[in-house]
Amino acid sequence: MKKLLIAYDGSQCADEMLEDLACAGLPAELDVNVVTVAEVWLPPDPELSEPAFPDTISKAVRKARARAVEEVAASRAVAEQACSRLKKSFPNWNPRAKVFADSPAWGIVKEAAACQADLVVLGSHGRTGLERLFLGSVAQKVAAEACCSVRIARPGKRATRNRLRIMIAVDGSHDSEAAIQAVALRHWPATAEFWVVTVADPKLQTAVAWPSVFADQWVQASDKGAGEWIGRMLEHSAQKLRDAGLKVRTDIFDGDPKEILLAQARSWKADCIFLGARGLHHGSRLFLGSLASAVAARAHCPVEIVRPK
């Protein structure tokens, strides 16, 4: 990972998102953009361009633009405040404040594409939605539309580097393999615990019937049921983390993945859930898978949705 985009709006949730970065296993050196979006319409300065009409610009127009300029200036102060905090926590990072007027979600998505970010980090709610259980509209939009991986931090009990539990959900898809790879490449404390989980619902159990999808890679002639090749796939994913020196356990569950993953993460008191943006049934389609969407919306802890580069 080389480029990180942090979406910051000065809310309590955004402040807790900054604290969560210490538990994300991020590199000591990163190219970091801190983006704050002023949700206003800011047209060009009429004093610096030829008027479109000969009429004198109205006082109302001037007043509206002046207010928009003030909002952008206030947003810059918010972004620079976040940069100052990051420099104290991550001395080798060089965060830059970037501010512009736009719809917050679209502004973040466009900036992530423009700067070729590897990961976008933001809070689950903005300044007006902290009390709600489900994702705020901005986090939901960014998770669905961003061209890169997205980490969504939630308010609540903060994780610590001395006690860090990471759950990774896998199903053998390309994106879930990318989630395993993302975890393996991070920098974790020696005490961190990792749990690789597969939920064997009917869709996964019948995936072996797809030619050249699972059969060639995981199934052996002696297999008597889906559990054997699913376990083989699960252990293959876990071994990549063990090869990186991480402490790993594995489990296979039966049921609805959306419900099982959330319940197990809460029971284990996971500090973060990693999973692929799309599962086996999404192919090369770009939109967010239903499992990733449900987990991001309802998890009690931060969720990192991984998209392959």
Average pLDDT (271-296) is 80
Structure confidence at residue 206 as a pLDDT band (50, 70, 90): confident
CA distances from 46 to 40, 49, 66, 242 (A): 17, 5, 11, 61
The answer to whether residues 148 and 175 belong to one domain is no
Structure confidence at residue 208 as a pLDDT band (50, 70, 90): low
The answer to whether residues 130 and 187 belong to one domain is no
Instruction: State whether residue 221 is helix, strand or coil.
Output: coil
Position 207 pLDDT exceeds 80: no
Report yes or no on 160 lying in a domain.
no
The answer to whether residues 186 and 121 belong to one domain is no
Quote the domain boundaries for residue 36.
Answer: 3-153
Digit-coded pLDDT (tens) for 217-259: 666 666 666 667 788 889 999 999 999 999 999 999 999 999 9
The residue with greater pLDDT, 208 or 6, is 6
Q: What pLDDT shows up at residue 201? A: 84
- Return the number of other C-beta atoms located less than 10 Å from residue 156's C-beta: 12
Q: Which of 91, 120, 153 is the last residue of a domain?
A: 153
The answer to whether residues 179 and 278 belong to one domain is yes
Q: What is the pTM of this model?
A: 0.88
Q: Which tokens in the block code for residue 132?
A: 């709600």
The answer to whether residues 116 and 243 belong to one domain is no
The residue with greater pLDDT, 154 or 61, is 154
The answer to whether residues 13 and 68 belong to one domain is yes
Q: What pLDDT shows up at residue 262? A: 97
Residue 301 CB-density burial (10 A; 0-12 exposed, 13-18 middle, 19+ buried): buried
Digit-coded pLDDT (tens) for 33-58: 999 999 888 766 666 655 555 455 67
Q: What is the CATH number of the domain that holds 74?
A: 3.40.50.620
Q: What pLDDT shows up at residue 131? A: 46
In whole angstroms, how large is the CA radius of gyration of the chain?
22
The answer to whether residues 65 and 207 belong to one domain is no
Q: What pLDDT shows up at residue 216? A: 61
The answer to whether residues 122 and 218 belong to one domain is no
Report yes or no on 190 lying in a domain.
yes
